[in-house]
Structure 1
């Protein structure tokens, strides 16, 4: 009986289960840093200790030690302005996002996103051409100095690319065969250029000998100008996608790049920024075909996405450039793509990791689709219903990695 009483006493004296409140501050911050980014907005409302942790510099360092986060997609709506939204790929949910930065890019000449890289988004004021970099998760922003020739009758802008860490912003301007590029390096805080590009007849020479079959290349920037004649529809593209750009980089700092855009005749022009040369790639489809086209980067490779009509149906296919020719690497199931037959639909695409998002828009049909390029698995994203009970129609998206610790 005495031994049973002793055991009962020991049970009563056992310590209670430990919770988050018993963790040391640095351990708590490491735990909080691994929460889904959408929860960061609510940390300060939980308790005083969590609020203090969220404001701590060591918490940001803990966030930086998280190797990667699933992407968010900053969604761009149609003609009627709406509060900015992001699609959380991990939580498969729609999340309110920071509004476009104000300052000199705000007001009537409101800035629109034109490129993204890592956890940052690049905004441009359509009227003035002013550029501003922002972290859409924290709202921190930085206005870039005016690019060379910004106020002196600069040549027509073809495309804008953002890449690397520290990040770089590249502007490509001019008319074939007179093309030039200017590059902003955030580590120096200044622009270089404009630098003239010379024609190179052999397009394959711009790609390395060991280029992957998907068509990617080390430290490669690909982009399309959406004003090419190849887009034979009456659709007006989003101002954000007018200078659409994607980046494929093998090194952590981005390095030199090869840039691609559409000429007025519908051919893809490849610009090697290191050798300062350019060449024209062969067409994907004949010039008389009606189709919409965009370029994306997925898993270190660049692809062209084409929505075209064949006979009595519509087809959406993903192409890679390798061995001097375009090769199909993925295709939307016909049951999905057929819904856009005869709709004169326009596509705007964005990639992140192995994911490819396609925003299809027309006056009659709209939808956002996600594709795993490696497995060719497609799905339509859930509809986003606003506070008025209406379904939001999205024209385009920009992908970014939601990170609190990224500075501009």
Structure 2
């Protein structure tokens, strides 16, 4: 009897082993479909598993299988404070925060040029010395240099926008209120001639003045002045109110558009911290009313997520700090989310700067300050107003890295440059 049981057990185990095929027994088409469903961070290791997986990871069929995955959680390409230094230390590998796995991953992004925009699975880089533009897929490492803009686009760069698939790159040129735009269309592999932008003059919600705005101050802030207003603090010290801005995001913008790429609107900040909305199809722009009085000292950034544009404001009032998200709707600013006071109070008195980016329903806020204790990255789910502080990322020397900004992209191996 024991022998029979043992024999039966042996047959059972053998049947189970035969009925559970290994990945090596899968047909090529099925293997590529399985690999395409792996977390994107796994794609870096596919080529090192075996020859078959290496061949599969480089096949057009694998990229086609990746394209059939409807959506992936975003990655946030992080910019460290090393890029802000005049004499940077040896470059470290590009780092991204994987929102799905809630962990840090390395990208194949070039450490030299500075990211200025992102769309879909691609990131746009700009060389600070020459202004040369390069589009890259941070997951696959594939990149291409864009042709130089048309000779007519010689004005100073004000903002950069990127959107759509096939993607478009838009350069906003000049100074307010005299702006123009030049557009690169990847489907044509060519730049369109630079065209002037018109300032919106007809009555509309975007033209409504905020109750606390002062016309004389606004005219000086957005005109030929130095973009700063001096005033006395409660202690009698002379203070200056101007937009704090990470050098890495000085040209960044947030773009909202329909799923088909139409009706794209780029939102960016003026040098004085006013929000400018630019309709890229109609070639018009408007300055939105200020959220806070111009003499307030605060840090501000604009983001796009879920097809909407939001403004993130870090300000201080009544001996505490407040970090809030606002949306411009029906001619007025509407409060939509706020960091819990227990979290935001730690930023009080730190002279902190916020640089933010949105994707889907999430907004990432990078807080940088001269006080290392105030540095950190936070994630907000706008719909639920749920906030969390992200874990610190250790650099090559084992020390926690401080990030000053981020750009979001959808990790897709198949995204073509």
Task: Tell me by how many angstroms 1:256 deviates.
Answer: 3.8
Structure 2 match to 1:167 = 167
Is residue 389 from structure 1 mapped to residue 398 from structure 2 by the alignment?
yes
> Take 1:355 and 1:12, find their aligned partners in 2: how far apart are those partners?
48
Structure 2 residue aligned with 1:50 = 53
List per-residue Cα deviations over 1:152-189 (Å, max 9, x = no partner): 8x222110000000000011111222111111100011
Contact 1:228 1:262 (8 Å CA) reproduced:
no
In structure 2, what is the equivalent of residue 95 of structure 1? 105
Distance 1:206 1:273, change over 3 A: farther
| C-alpha contact (below 8 Å) 2:118/2:408 kept by paired residues | yes
Taking the aligned partners of 1:401 and 1:334, their CA distance within structure 2 comes to: 31
| More divergent stretch after superposition (34-43 vs 73-82) | 73-82
- 1:295 aligned residue: 302
Cα pair 2:95 2:105 within 8 Å, conserved: yes
Residue 367 of structure 1, aligned match among 371, 376, 386: 376
Change (3 A) 1:232 1:60: farther
Counterparts of 1:265 and 1:38 in 2: how far apart (Å)? 40
CA contact (8 A) 2:178 2:197 kept: yes
Post-superposition shift, 1:205?
6.4
TM-score (structure 2 length as normaliser): 0.84
Q: Answer with 274-283 or 235-244: which moved more.
A: 235-244
Check conservation: 1:173, 1:180, Cα contact below 8 A: yes
Question: What secondary structure does 1:271 align onto?
Answer: strand
- Contact between 2:206 and 2:289, CA under 8 Å: does it hold in 1? no
Contact (CA 8 Å) 1:297, 1:303: kept in 2 or not? Answer: yes
Secondary structure, aligned partner of 1:30: helix
> How has the CA–CA distance of structure 1 residues 21 and 233 changed in structure 2, closer, same or farther, with 3 Å as cutoff?
farther
Question: What RMSD, in angstroms, separates the aligned Cα atoms of the two structures?
Answer: 2.5
Helix, strand or coil at the partner of 1:388: coil
Q: CA deviation at 1:49?
A: 2.1
Question: 2:109·2:137 contact (CA, 8 Å) conserved in 1?
Answer: no
Question: Which residue in 1 is equivalent to 2:318?
Answer: 311
The match for 2:327 among 282, 298, 320 is 320
Contact kept, 8 Å, 1:74 with 1:85, in 2: the verdict is yes
Cα deviation for residue 203 of structure 1 reads 6.5
Contact 1:203 1:281 in 2 (8 A): no
How many positions carry a matched residue from both structures?
375
Deviations 1:85-115 (A, max 9, x none): 11111111111211417xxxxxxxx410000
1:47 Cα deviation after fit: 2.2
1:130 alignment partner in structure 2 = 132
Partner of 2:232: none
Conserved in 2, the CA contact under 8 Å of 1:348 and 1:359? yes
Report the counterpart of residue 252 of structure 2 in structure 1: 244
The TM-score normalised by the length of structure 1 is 0.85
Distance 1:126 1:328 in 2: 36
Q: Could you tell me how far apart the structure 1 residues matched to 2:97 and 2:304 are?
A: 18
Q: Is 2:269 the partner of 1:267?
A: no
Cα-to-partner distance string for 1:298-343 (whole Å, 9 max, x where unaligned)? 1111100000111201100000000011111000001111111111
Q: Which residue number corresponds to residue 146 of structure 2? A: 144
Partner of 1:193: helix, strand, or coil? coil
After TM superposition, the structure 1 = structure 2 runs for residues 162-311 of structure 1, keeping only pairs within 5 Å, are 162-202=162-202, 204=204, 229=228, 237-252=245-260, 254-311=261-318
